[in-house]
Amino acid sequence: SDFIISYSQNRKIDGYVYLKNQKASDIEVYLINYNLVAKTDTTGYFEFNDLDNGKYIIYINSKGLKSYKSIHK
């Protein structure tokens, strides 16, 4: 499984989730320290908008995927 995550200055975190080189849809992506969740669309894309400056912990866990955790500042 692969994860491509970006953080931009416009208060947004977004990215793509792939499973075995295929776009992974309906995967829940969590910002666990802010109790936010987004689901990937049919292209594997997810986004969180209108975020305050700070530290974000991204957590992805789904059947067929190994758990993924990333910290962004």
Distance CA(58)–CA(48), nearest Å, equals: 11
How much is the pTM? Answer: 0.77
Which strands sit side by side in the sheet containing 68-72, from one edge to the other?
A: 36-39, 28-31, 56-60, 68-72
> Under 8 Å CB-to-CB from 41, ≥6 apart: which residues?
25
Run means of pLDDT, 10 residues per run, the chain, 73 residues: 59 84 88 90 92 83 66 60
> What's residue 45's pLDDT?
92
Q: How far is CA 17 from CA 31, 36, 73, in A?
A: 15, 17, 20
Instruction: Output the pLDDT for position 41.
Output: 96
Model pLDDT, residue 34: 85
Residue 38's DSSP bridge partners are 29
